[in-house]
Every structure is written in C-alpha cells, then in structure tokens.
Amino acid sequence: MRRSFHRRLGSAVRLVASAAAVLLAAHLAHAAEPIEYPPTLAKPVVETFHGVEVTDNYRWLEADTAWPVCLWTQRQNMLTRKTLDAIPERERILKRLREFAAAPRVSIPYRAYGRDDYVQWRREGLVEHAGLYIREKDYRAKPRLALDPNTWDDADKVLCEYVDPSPDGRYLAYTKRERNAFNLTVCVRDLETGEDLPDQIPYASSWVLWDRDATGFYCVHWCLFHDAKGTRGTRRGWDGYGVCHHVLGTDFKEDTVIFGRDNPERHRITIAQGQRGRYLFILKWPDRSKTDVYYIDLESDEPEVTPLVVGLDARFGVTAVDDAFVISTDWKAPLGCFYRCRADDPARENWEQIVPEQKGPIVGWWIAGQRLFVEVLEDMEVHLLVYSVEGRFLGKVPLPAIGSIDSGWGSADGRDFFFRFTSYLQPRTPYHYDTARGTLKRLERTGPDFDFGRYVTRKVWYTSSDGTPVPMLLVHRKGLKRNGRNPVLLYGYGGFNIVMEPAFDASLLVWIEAGGVYAAPNLRGGGELGTRWHEAGKGAQKQNTFDDFIAAAEYLIAEGYTNPGRLAIGGGSNGGLLVAAAMTQRPDLFRAVVCEVPILDMVRYHKMRGSNAGDLEYGTAENPDEFRDLLAYSPYHCVKAGVTYPAVFIRAGAQDPVVGAAHARKMAALLQSVAADDRPALLWVEPSGGHWWDDMTRAQQLETNADKLTWLMWQLGMIEGPEK
C-alpha cells in the first residue's frame, strides 16, 4: 500500500509541477532578464579521500581575510543590495516589520534566591535592549528601572543576557557579551549607588550564583595560567573552563577553582542551585546527548565536589527540594522521566521514579515549592502537568493554544508559578498560575496590534519515503482554499536533538497577512519526538532528515496547498544544510530557497572556521564510511551543471564563530556558475553579523527580515520584481 501511494503521489507531483511551470512562466517573465554576477575565478583543488578524488573549484574563497575574497564578497553584497532595494514593495514590508517590532515585550517576573523583590525585563518601541525593572515585594507593584543597557556607550555592540540580584538586595550581577562572541563578562552593580564595582570577570560562560551573605558568588569562566594545584601559576599548567568562586573586591585571577581541572575545552559546564541555596550543582556536557552531574553541599564543614552521575550515555538535570534531589533524565527513558533521592544518600540504586515517561518528550520543567511543573510535547501540542515532588499527579494547567513555554519560575512557598507562553499566533505573554486556587491569569497583553483571529494553526501528519509518520504544523488564513496556488514557506531544522516548538515571530505575520502559508515539519534529527527521533536523523541516518523534508513538500503539493512554482523553503545553520540538500536532491519541487548561516561543504567543514561540534552529529571525512555518507548529500558537492535549481538567497555572517561564511561564499559562487537566468542566486554576508540572531542589532534584524520576505514574495509571484 505504501509503495502504491508514493507512486501515485509522485505522479501527481509531476503533473502539478508541469502545469505550474507553464502558468508561472508568464507571471514571472519580468525576472527573465539575467543578473550580471561579479566574475568568479575557478581554481580547482583536487584531493583524494579514501581513494575518491574530490574537486573544489572555489577553495580560495575560504580565506576570510584575504583581500581578493573581501573584494569578491563586497561585490556580491552590492549586487544583492541593488537587486532587492530595486523592488518597490520592500520598503512597505520593512515599514510593517517596524510597526510589529515596536510592540511591548516583557519577561515573567521572578525572584532570585533569598530576595523579596521581583525582577522583570521590559522593552517597548524600537530601542536596542530591554531594561531590567524591580518590583518591590509584590509582582504587581510599580516597576522601578534598575538597569538600562541602552544607556551604555557600547549598547550597539553588546548584549545583556543574565542578571542575578544578591540575596540582600544590595548588588546586581549582570553579564555583557560582545556580539559574535562566545564568552561573557560578569559585572556587578551596587543598586544603592547605581555604580558598578571594579569587579569584572571576563571569559565567563554562565550566570552567577550568589553566596548567602552576598560577599561573593560562583560562576564558570576560563581559568588561565593555573598550575596542577589550581593556584595561580604559569602556562605550563592547564587552562580551560572551570567553576570558580569569586570574592567581591578581589581580582578574578585570584578566584578559587573548585571544579574543571583537565576539562576538555569542548565540554560545556553549567551550574545550578537548589531551592534553599544549600546545594550547588555542576553539569558537564561532553555532547548534547550526555551530561555528567556533580554537587557541593555548601553547608558542609568541608565542602567538596561529589559525583552524582558520571559516565552514563544520557542527559540529566537536577535541583534540590528541601533535603531531596529531583533529577530529570532520558536514561532508560527516551522521552524523559524524573527521579527523586535523598540528598544524604544519592546513590543510583536509591533513586525512586516519581514521574514516568509520558506520551511525548519532556521539553521543560520547573519547581514551585513542593510542586513539579512538567512541560510535555505530545502530538505537537504542549501540556503543562503538575506533580508533587513525591510523584503524585496533581492536575494540568490549561494552556491557551498550540504553542510553547519559553520560561518559567516558581516561588519557594509553592503558591505562585509564572510562565511565558507563545505560539505562532500569540506573542510571548506572561501568565500567573495560583497553585492554591488552580487559576490561570494573563499578566499583561503584549505584541502588536494584529487581527490574530483571522488565522489558524493546524496539525497534520504525513508519511515520509520509508513509511515513517511525521508531524507538521501549518499556519494560514482561515478558510484557505486548497486550489494548488497558495504561496507556501516550508521551514525546517531537524538536528542536534533541538526541539522546534511554535514561537512568535513578527515576520511570520507579514507573510500570512500577504496570503502566505507557513509549514513547519518536525523532522527526524530534532528532539520533538524524543532521543530516538534524534538518533534516526544523525550520522549515517542523516538522509532521513532530508527525506522527511522532501516528503513534506510532496504532501503540500498533493493536498492542494500549493505547487512547485509557489513553494519556497527556508532554514538556518543545520537548517541551511537541510534546505540546500533538499534543493540539490529535488530541485523540481521548489521555486525559491532562503539558506541562512549554512553548513554546506560536508567534506571539509571540520577543517573550516567554526566546526559547531558537527563531528558528533554528522561524522567527518576522516572516517571512510562517514566520508561516503557525507559526500553523498554534501550540497556543495551535489550541484551539477545543466540542472535548473530554485532561486537561492544565501545569508551569512562575516564574524560567525560557529559556521564560517566560507560555506556560503563557495556555494554562491558554484550556484551562480550554473544558475538559470530566471532563477538567480544571491549572497549577502553581513559584515558585522555572526551566527545567532541576537548578534545583529535590531535594525539589522529588521533589514534582514525585509530582505528575506521581499525575496520570497518576488520569487513566488506575490509582488513585482526589481524596477528596470
């Protein structure tokens, strides 16, 4: 039955594609005039991998700072600007994006350990940063501005990402991160004087956890020039990330290193604290699927680092509630579960399971007093379940729509639980759940003035090429007609066990307002259906991710949502690899592609700037078997002359530390060498841009979204092309 279905589906897709090509040709005739690309020299470099010769014509474009590369990139940017800025509708699109971006946005209110006051982020208008406000003793009290990053001299160059007030309310620890950098700088502000202390901790990688007496704090930072005993020494010792204790008024170089000696650089370390602040937890991440956990009893006469879980091939999280540890894990439970154990006897044989596996993966959890709030993703819908810390099911918190929870916080007395809910059609909105009364209340209305009621989010399932059912969410106007002519943006990721939950993005409003349909499948390689779903789309199984994405496109065509002439695909980073692989494997299915900060040369990516720890997800060409798998789908190596590819817009960041812009440059050069006149290939390398969205200023973000939407609408025939 499955093979018969796919044969019929394939026939339907080919018929629709043929008809669509004829219908769209006349409409897009204005795009037939060829774009004159900057000249690009092909300088073949031939290498042999495990007996296979591989030719790279554009290896020279990997030299990020070489002047020929910089000049070539500048000319590409000029061409892209000239082309997109000549489209009349772009200015209207940008204006609409600015209107949406000016809407208010707030975080949940929360208290740091030992504090009576609440803190909350708030941003309105087109300012660069949110400000931090304090509400004294009550989350409903009038807010007072405590920290405004917009007043900093370097406000356009840095981000303020974490804050933590001291237990006595005197100080505020906050972090600065330069755009495009990994490391943070921890600063301390005296809230009574409004001045910063001399204390600054560079090379940090975490938030801080204060001592009870507010005389110092713990944080993770790069420990340079330590000798084998952990005291300050010379470079002949070791360096790397470590958990350190900082005393206010001292130089960070004198911080006591309490954990991290001999830790490999790539092993990420984070810290957490129990409910009463007695226990400090240290989590070390060798990779995304494995966590080692240690703890320190800070009330002990001789505090020492004690292993809790080490060496298990599973992920763990932990907190302390009174004298017990609550542990989350996917150990022997691919969808996740919870255990509880006594803090004074935490051996694994004494763990008691308190929350079993659910029908979907556990994607978030929080503690409020003696209550455990568990976010479960089941059938593409989030459910917020409530348990006692002993494992008794207490109920379910009603949620407003198909969406996700992006943050939560519970009071130590268990009375209050705050969370922020979002969806494709709901701006990030803070809610308060009264645990005693079981009532849910929205705290504030956020987001732009938009008629959300005219649109709908739908759940569908479709079948991938090997018969695997795959879920997908669709967002579109109510009453949409399946006439095969709707413009559709199919967006995906499918990697690194990341869960792509529905979240608000104002640019999506511009798309659906113009009549577009948005489709988001949960591809294998992601974590939407648990760790097994991830394993089914990594390494030697990576092709499953691409097959799932291609099958989503075929479903949308077969079900009458669209046709190949009005179907676009988009993705970034690993999602950039996804859309490029789909484009090279099935160029007949798509009209346009937006490929952002992509990894594209799978043969050399591990040698290029920024590896993104991809060897754990993809493998590398150093291994003969992995090389064959990588070469088979590597987009850069799958482009062929004589094939008509979709129109492609590639965006990269010149300062990207995760996936170097060389991938984008090389792919753009290759595609331009084979591009059809009516299917342009454009490249935009943001000079100051990095890998993450927040590495751009708000103005850059708005301009980037205007570029992408303008490109998509032009290529799908929704607006007229460049004026001649």
List active site positions.
573, 691
Cβ neighbours, 10 Å, residue 74: 13
Distance (Å, whole) CA 16 – CA 20? 6
**CA-based torsion, 498, 123, 432, 280: positive or negative:** positive
Is the distance from CB of 690 to CB of 180 less than 8 angstroms?
Answer: yes
Of the candidates 249, 225, 251, the residue with the CA atom closest to the CA atom of residue 238: 225
Of the candidates 655, 597, 685, the residue with the CA atom closest to the CA atom of residue 181: 655
Distance (Å, whole) CA 361 – CA 142? 39
- Residue bearing tokens 């240690």: 294
| β-bridge mates for residue 457, sequence order | 475
Angle between helices 662-674 and 67-85 (to 10 degrees): 60
- DSSP three-state, residue 606: helix
The b-or-e profile of 142-160 (16+ CB within 10 A means b, else e) is ebeebbebeeeeebeebbb
Distance (Å, whole) CA 201 – CA 187? 7
**CA-derived radius of gyration, the chain:** 26
Distance (Å, whole) CA 144 – CA 291? 39
Is the distance from CB of 387 to CB of 375 less than 8 angstroms?
Answer: no
Max CA distance (Å), the chain: 81
In degrees rounded to 5, what are phi and psi of residue 720?
-75, 155
Distance (Å, whole) CA 568 – CA 199? 50
Distance (Å, whole) CA 318 – CA 496? 22
Those residues whose C-beta lies under 8 Å from the C-beta of residue 49, and which sit 6 or more positions away, are: 603, 621, 627, 631
Distance (Å, whole) CA 631 – CA 157? 39
Pairing of strands 567-572, 592-596: parallel
Pairing of strands 324-329, 316-321: antiparallel
In the β-sheet with 517-521, what is the strand arrangement from edge to edge?
455-463, 469-477, 517-521, 488-491, 567-572, 592-596, 647-653, 681-686
- Amino acid at site 234: T
- DSSP three-state, residue 120: strand
- DSSP three-state, residue 408: strand
Output the CA–CA distances (angstroms, integers) from residue 330 to 258, 286, 351, 355, 536, in the order listed. 28, 16, 14, 12, 16
Per-position DSSP letters for 245-306, written without gaps between them: EEETTS-GGGPEEEE-TT--TTSEEEEEE-TTS-EEEEEEEEETTEEEEEEEETTSSS---E
- DSSP three-state, residue 356: coil
Distance (Å, whole) CA 424 – CA 516? 14
Of the candidates 131, 134, 173, 135, the residue with the CA atom closest to the CA atom of residue 155: 131
Distance (Å, whole) CA 62 – CA 623? 23
Distance (Å, whole) CA 14 – CA 8? 10
Distance (Å, whole) CA 562 – CA 16? 9
